[in-house]
Every structure is written in C-alpha cells, then in structure tokens.
Amino acid sequence: MLKALDQQYVLPTYARRDISFVSGSSATLKDDKEKSYIDFTSGIGVVSVGHGNANVSKAICDQVSKITHSSNLYLIEPQAECARRIVKQSGYDMKCFFGNSGAEANEGAIKIARKYGEVDGTPKRYKIITLEHSFHGRTITTVKATGQESMHNYFGPFPDGFVYAKDMDEIEGLIDDHTVAVMIELVQGEGGVQPLEREKVKALSSMLKKRDVLLIVDEVQTGVYRTGEFLASNLYEIEPDIITLAKGLGGGVPIGVVMTSKKEVLGAGDHGSTFGGNYLSTAAANAVLDELESFKESGRLDEMFIYFEQALQGFYEPRRFLFTGSVGFGMMRGLRVKNAETLSAIIDNAHKEGVLVLKAGRNTLRFLPPLTITKDEIDEGFERLAQAVASL
Ligand SMILES: *Cc1c(COP(=O)(O)O)cnc(C)c1O
C-alpha cells in the first residue's frame, strides 16, 4: 500500500527498500511489521543522539509550543545561542551562518570563498580545488564541487572554477593565480570512509596559509563528535578558514551551518535563508549539543568508540576472506569488501537479519551508528551481521 503510494506520487530518485519504520529508541528501530532493526547508520549520520531521544524531543516540543519560526529579519535567541556553542566547542575564532542542509552549508562556504577572492567587486580569484572521490552535495554547484565524474552527467552547464586533485600531493601543483580555496573532507564519507593523512593535511594547511588560499573543511559528516572530537579539524589539529556542518547537528531536524574566521566577508544582503536557523532547528541543535557535550565530557563517548571498535574488529578479523581492510575513526567506520557484489549481498542480508548498514564508494561497508548507541545494541548488531554474512 505505502509502496504503491510512494511509487505513484514520489519521484523515483532513490532506490528505496520496501521497509518503513514507525518508531525507534536509541539505536533500535521498529518497522510497520513489528520487526526490530539495530541501526548502524543513524539515518546517514543524522540521528547522532539516537532515535526517540527524550531530552531532544522535549526541547523540540517545548520550543514549538512557544514559537517555531519568525524569519531572519528578527533576533532569534536559540540561533545566537547555538552559534555561540558551536564556536566555543570548535575552539576557533569564527562566526556562523545557518541553513538547512549540508549542500546549502557548502554553497555558503563557496560563496564566502568566492567573495573573498573578489577585488573591487571583480572576481580575481575564484577557483576552488577539491579532491577526487569527494562528496559535497546535490545542488548544481556542490555537484560540480564533488570530484566524481559520474555525478557530472546531465544538469550542465555547471558553474566554472572547480578543479579536481587526484590526491593530497597533487593540490599544490594545481594552485594558480585564480585559486581562492581548497575544499576537503578530512574523512571522505560517501567516497569510501577514507581518512586523509594527518601529516599531509597539516602540511597542506600551513602551505595554504602562506599562499593566502582558503582551506574549507566539509565537516557535514565528520562534524559534531562523529570522529571523537567536536570537529575532525580539532582531531587533525588544523585551523581551517571555513567549516561546514549539518548531518549530526540537529538530531534529525534539518540544519546546516557554515562557519568562518573571515567574519567580514559577507555583509547584509549577500546571503540568506528563509528557514535557516529558526527556533525549531536551533532549539533541537542546542539539545543535541547538551546531550553530546555531556556524553563527551563524562568519557562515555570515548568508551563507546573503543567498544564499537573492538566489536568491529572482532567481526572483521575472522572474516578476512570477505574484507580487504578496516578504515575510519570513531563512529565513522568502514570495512572494505572484496568486491561490489559481495557488498550488496551483505547489505541485503543485513536488512533481512535486522541490522542497518550502508554502502560507501564502490566497495565499502559503512557504519555510522548513533554516537549514543548502547553496548547491548552494538553486540546485538554484530551478532545479526555475523548471521547476515554466514552464508557468504
Ligand atoms: C551528506 C554530505 C553532504 C550533503 O549534505 P545534504 O544535507 O544531503 O545536502 C555534503 N558533504 C558531505 C561530506 C556529506 O557527507
């Protein structure tokens, strides 16, 4: 019934599974047939504090029963508070702009960089270097920023000025008089859970500072404690000029942020969003930050990371005949599968056994569990996953 409705009225842009969830608690979901699933995906890195989080739900309900939206023509208390908290946790001297998604945050980052590169209103420097296998979003500009040729079919003409580096080593050689920024993910998420090398990132960061080329770090997936620190940039000990956040920040409520140390570049009228940073999304984000800050400070976040890592290795080690490597940090992890057919068989079987896992790149089994997943859920999830691969 639902499937027919979906097929009749919703554009077929997703290869959806015939599963519909109706409720959840922590990292456990229930579908409309009462079947339970352990969620190792958190809705692609979004439900960072778990499903049905009581404190976040209460904060959202309390907020929307008072005021949900006023427009950005007025001061918005939870927005200012959210910006303060994000800046404080980041440790960087920055200011924030609020949008509604990762792509929108990256659009903001690109606009800041482009305007920074203008002299007397003329685009002097506009080129932005990104990496192959990156992912920066689905709008026309962020699709073009994404270094995957397969995403550049149709939809053209695209905005000019994106240049792709094969790897970190190629970036410096691509910089010319028109280059204004380099945009990277510190752990490429969609591209296959591929962390960049820390020493190379640090060297890149200092080289770019010397040449006055901006460093944009897309932390849409890595941000908000996913890799262990508030930002992966903190973990890598770099000071980017522009950082974007989205997925895990709102606990399921759409929100995107671009933050920058170039506080004076955008002025009134240069950028905007109708919904961005409204009472609903920023109240939700503040409640998510409450949860995760105390989770981190109490040591429980690191404890869960270690537990998850051990469970993942316990699953991986005896099954080397299926996997060729283990990658990632914190709660952003992947297992490289020997081939793409085996990967899709694993994911199909996992759904049957009641555990949700993701694909990344061509052959990576990706894990993005809620940061607050319990030990029991981790154990149960890997037991189900072991069942799922038993016949392979
Ligand atoms: C998911 C993702 C995006 C796009 O975010 P949307 O909210 O889907 O627009 C951009 N960059 C990275 C690194 C992502 O993981």
Q: What is the 3-state secondary structure (H, E, C) of the chain?
A: CHHHHHHHHCCCCCCCCCCCEEEEEECEEEECCCCEEEECCHHHHCCCCCECCHHHHHHHHHHHHHCCCCCCCCCCHHHHHHHHHHHHHHCCCCEEEEECCHHHHHHHHHHHHHHHCEECCEECCCEEEEEECCCCCCCHHHHHHCECHHHHCCCCCCCCCEEEECCHHHHHHHCCCCEEEEEECCEECCCCCEECCHHHHHHHHHHHHHCCCEEEEECCCCCCCCCCCCCHHHHHCCCCCEEEECHHHCCCCCCEEEEECCCCCCCCCCCCCCCCCCHHHHHHHHHHHHHHHHHHHCCHHHHHHHHHHHHHHHHHHHHCCCEEEEEEECCEEEEEECCHHHHHHHHHHHHHHCEECEEECCCEEEECCCCCCCHHHHHHHHHHHHHHHCCC
CATH 3.40.640.10 for domain 67-296: yes
Longest dimension (CA), the chain: 65
The alpha carbon of 112 and the centre of ligand 1 are apart by a number of angstroms equal to 18
Q: What is the mean pLDDT of residues 242-258?
A: 98
Distance 361 CA to ligand 1 centre (A): 14
- Beta-bridged to residue 227, according to DSSP, are none
Q: Which of 221, 229, 250, 226 is nearest to 99 (CA)?
A: 250
Contact 338, 332 (CB under 8 A): no
Could you tell me if 355 and 32 are in contact, meaning their C-beta atoms sit under 8 angstroms apart? no
Which of 381, 323, 335 lies closest to 360, judged by CA? 335
Tell which atom from ligand 1 comes closest to the C-alpha of 244: 11
142: tokens are: 């962020």
Task: Give the model confidence (pLDDT) of 77-110 as tens digits.
Answer: 999 999 999 999 999 999 999 999 999 999 999 9
Tens of pLDDT, residues 141-169: 999 999 999 999 999 999 999 999 999 99
Q: How far is the CA of 329 from the centre of ligand 1 (A)?
A: 18
CB 183 within 8 A of CB 101: no
Contact 223 CB / ligand 1 (< 6 Å): no
Take atom 6 of ligand 1 and give the residue whose Cα is closest: 102
Rg (CA), the chain: 21
User: Given a cut of 90, is residue 270 above it in pLDDT?
Assistant: yes
Residues 6+ apart with CB under 8 A from 340: 362, 363
CATH 3.90.1150.10 residue spans of the chain: 2-53+299-389
Look at residue 71 in the predicted model and tell me its pLDDT. 97
Q: Which of 335, 356, 307 is nearest to 43 (CA)?
A: 356
Ligand 1 centroid distance, CA of 135 (Å): 7
Instruction: Say what the pLDDT of residue 210 is.
Output: 97
For residue 103 and ligand 1, the question of a CB distance below 6 A is answered with yes
Q: Which CATH superfamily is domain 2-53+299-389 in?
A: Aspartate Aminotransferase, domain 1 (3.90.1150.10)
Q: What percent of the chain has pLDDT over 90?
A: 98
Q: Across the strands, what pairs with 216? A: 183, 242
Confirm or reject: Cβ of 332 under 6 Å from ligand 1.
Answer: no
**What are the structure tokens assigned to 114, written together?**
């482009």
Write the pLDDT tens digit of every residue in 115-137: 999 988 887 999 999 999 999 99
- Does any ligand 1 atom lie closer than 6 A to the CB of residue 107? no
Burial 282-311 (b: 16+ CB within 10 A, else e): bbbbbbbbebbbebbeeeebeebbeebbeb
- 16/31 Cα distance (integer angstroms): 15
Q: What is the mean pLDDT of the chain?
A: 97
Strand-pairing partners, residue 329, are: 332
Going by pLDDT thresholds of 50, 70 and 90, the confidence category of residue 266 is very high
Contact 238, 202 (CB under 8 A): yes
Answer whether 185 contacts ligand 1 (Cβ < 6 A). Answer: yes
Q: How far apart are CA 40 and CA 222, in angstroms?
A: 16
CA–CA dist 390, 231 (Å, integer): 37
Q: Do residues 107 and 141 lie in contact, with contact meaning Cβ atoms separated by under 8 Å?
A: yes
- Residue scoring higher pLDDT (119 or 217): 217
Query: What stretch(es) of the chain map to CATH 3.40.640.10?
Result: 67-296
Predicted model pTM: 0.98
Q: Is 234 in the pocket of ligand 1 (CB under 6 A)?
A: no
Does the Cβ of 246 fall within 6 Å of ligand 1? yes
